[in-house]
Amino acid sequence: MIAETVCSAVSAAGLGIGVVTAYRRRFLAAARIVAYSLVPVGLVMTGVVGWLADTAFSPTAWAGFGVLGAAWLLFAGTRAVERRRAGTGSERKAAGGKRQEAVAPAASAPSLGQETRPATRPSAAPGRSASGDDFSDIEAILKKHGI
């Protein structure tokens, strides 16, 4: 009963402020103020305020929140244990094999839908040293990105 009275008083005050604001010819601001002032009355009329008041003062509702919190802690705790345990024993070997298959053989080439590079590097052109070959890779990457 008190919550409904307070919400009605807040709405009446907001409507009064909205009227004064409209009188000053600030209609957009007045419309916003009126919209905000109608929210408490709407919440009272839909029963949300009564539900919140019943929930706030109900020991059963607080016990329910406690049960929900305990369930969340159990979920979080089991998830943490599962993460720690996932890296041990045969599971690690199985997961490690899967990870190695998922890694792209060449970081600069996309791995989906295209052929992979051969495992051996083609022989360097005659007259080029090994460091020159490294620079050709860098030049190819820069050209690929338009630099």
pLDDT in tens, 16-71: 999 999 999 999 999 999 999 999 999 999 998 888 888 888 888 889 889 999 99
Outline where 57-129 has alpha helix (H): 59-85, 89-102
Residue 146, pLDDT > 70, answer: yes
Q: What is the DSSP letter of 1?
A: -
The span from the CA of 147 to the CA of 132, in Å, is 19
Determine the Cα angle at 100 with ends 96 and 101, to 5°.
120
pTM above the 0.75 mark? no
Residue 132: pLDDT band (50, 70, 90) is low
The span from the CA of 95 to the CA of 25, in Å, is 69
Residue 8 CB contacts under 8 Å (≥ 6 apart), including other chains: 40, 41, 44
Looking up tokens 């005659």 gives 126
Residue 121, pLDDT > 60, answer: no
**What is the amino acid identity at position 137?**
D
Output the pLDDT for position 137.
86
The span from the CA of 112 to the CA of 29, in Å, is 55
